[in-house]
Amino acid sequence: MREQYRTTELSVADLAPEPIAQFTRWFKDVANSPAIHEPNAMVVSTATPDGRPSSRTVLLKHYDEAGFVFYTNYASRKGGELAANPHISLLFPWHPLARQVIVTGRASRTGRDETVAYFRTRPHGSQLGAWASHQSSVIESRDELLARYAELAARYPADEQVPVPPEWGGFRVVPDTVEFWQGHENRLHDRLRYVRAEDGGAGDGAPDGAGAWRVERLSP
C-alpha cells in the first residue's frame, strides 16, 4: 500500500527564522483542517539508559520558544525513563496533509506552579482520573480502575477542588533539532531540519535572522 502525495514544494526560503515560528505556521494549518482529529496528538518516544525504546501517543498542551510541554504521571514508564535518560523524540503525524514534524531534544520537569496552574484547567473528571490511574502499573481489571474513580468522585464532588497528585506533572522538551517533512509523489519528499548551532550563529542556507539555528536539507 502506498499513497502518492501531491503537495507544493517546501524550500528553505519558505521557512520561518526559527523552528517554533515555523511550527506555529503548520500547527495553524492542521488545527483548521477538518481532516485532523487531534492536531496536538504526538508520539512521544523515550528510552532506558541501555537504549531500550518505548513510544506512546500523548497530547501537547503548550509550546513556546522554551519548548514543548506535556503532562503525565512521573511514576509512569515514560516518566521513569526520562528520569534516567532525558533524551526524547516527539513526532506529530499529520498524514492527511502529508506533513510530519519530528523533534529531538531533552526533557525536564516543569515547575510545580506551572503544573498546578495547568491542572486547574483540566475537566473535573480528568483531574480525578489523574488520581485514579497509577499509570503504567499492572491492574487486575478495569473494574478496579472504575472503583477507584468512583471512590474519588464521592470524595471530591464537582463543586470541590481536587488536589494535584504529588507524582503528576509536566515535562518540557527543549529541542536540539526540529524536522519539517512534506510528502511528495515518487517518494521525493522535502525534509528540512533545524539544528541548534553550537556556535550560536546561523548556518549556511538558514533563513536570515535564524540566530542559533541552522537548516539542513535531508535526502528522503
167, 75 contact by CB (below 8 A): yes
Q: What is the pLDDT of residues 6-37, one digit of tens each?
A: 778 899 999 999 999 999 999 999 999 999 99
Q: Which residues contact 99 (CB under 8 A, 6 or more apart)?
A: 26, 29, 30, 180, 181, 182, 183
Any domain includes 2: no
Residue 204 pLDDT? 42
In the chain, how many domains are there? 1
Which residue is catalytic, options 25, 112, 155, 187?
187
Any domain includes 26: yes
Give the domain CATH number at 193.
Answer: 2.30.110.10
What does the alpha-carbon distance between residue 154 and residue 143 come to, in Å, rounded to a whole number? 16
Q: Which residues contact 159 (CB under 8 A, 6 or more apart)?
A: none
Q: Is 112 a catalytic residue?
A: no
Q: What is the pLDDT of residues 103-130, one digit of tens each?
A: 999 999 999 999 999 999 999 999 999 9
Any domain includes 89: yes
Residue 19 C-alpha cell reads as 523552528
Q: What is the largest CA-CA distance in the chain?
A: 61
Any domain includes 150: no
Closest Cα partner for 170 from 90, 109, 128? 109
The whole-model pTM stands at: 0.88
Spans of the chain, pLDDT less than 50: 200-210
pLDDT averaged over every residue in the chain: 92
Any domain includes 153: no
Any domain includes 51: yes
Range of the domain at 62: 12-123+166-217
Closest Cα partner for 55 from 45, 65, 64? 45
Any domain includes 145: no
